[in-house]
Structure 1
């Protein structure tokens, strides 16, 4: 079925509700996207675990705990087709209404990015900006969403560097996503939301530092890392600052 910008396929009895939410999330991303974007989004909403595994190729008996994932056929020239967001019915059913909106807005950012071919970017930047836009108007506080990370920072101090790509598949990936989210909050504060978004979707040729090396943001990695570590320390519960 279709609802505005959204199209939902699959056997979920919640298809109409999902379509309305997906339309709203697409509008939310569309409003801040720095380049024209159709906003069209395709959701595959299976009703059963068997159907979900058929759509994603996930092996039986293994659960990632991820409510939604964006898939696409990526061609050699970087173009993507058959872009779709697949919902895990078991995990989706456990989410609150607010949680569903955050998850679907996050995936909508991935859909928009796939429709703008670009050079390689560090995972922390892509996932961090997806989190940034997902939580932008949620009303949720950093101290609430990132509590486990901030407790770790209070105990052990902030990480020395921004998350590596490999960390996003580890057991503590929730904390890694929170690290990336806060890094992008800091980047937006330092460089401005539009400038950071344009760096996200711009071609690789526009992301070269003065020495010819890749520079994904309109500010140096060193400056961002220092500011990010200071922000984590400020937010940590024993810092006396709060969120």
Structure 2
């Protein structure tokens, strides 16, 4: 993971901006207090960590990519950023009051080891908020129609809810609730399914460079072929039928809220 994100293009930091609605939902599920200490695991360039801090909460940001952390540190020197992984945070036991992990668990080497480590550093009654997407949800992305191999490769690396639940419970976490998230039309963070309502976004090379599925998993020939087909379908109106055929009520992403 560190190698992937140490080499990711500059488009990541330009297009992966914190989304106000997602910030509010993460904080809603975490229920932080200003006097306490929290962890953003897999914080990347610190986009969300920085927003949490600006709202008056004290966060530590941990990521395996030194390049990402250097960008994060340049944004806000008030945040404590450290090199580490979910499996090895290098934090003291029971040293944080809550943890947020946004679009990161599919990069972890071992869910069981990671959740065991996060359980260790979390204080009793502390909350863990995971924001992710499940294979079932991703199978409902209309992107499958235009980039089937890329989506297949992306789906394979995503742990199912059942796998996440089992790993959490093995680490002694108790899942309190789940909350599906549907892409909002004004989404600011340009992650994989950001163009659900606006297919034109995928023609922006900077946006594709900021999405690991496009920048690291996809075959260039498939991307070019898929974009050509998407362009044709947008121009002739067929894309609306394709999008409608993938409509579902599963949600596009998922919050999983657990407690120690």
- TM-score, normalization by structure 1: 0.26
Higher percent of residues as strand: 2
- TM-score, normalization by structure 2: 0.25
Higher percent of residues as helix: 1
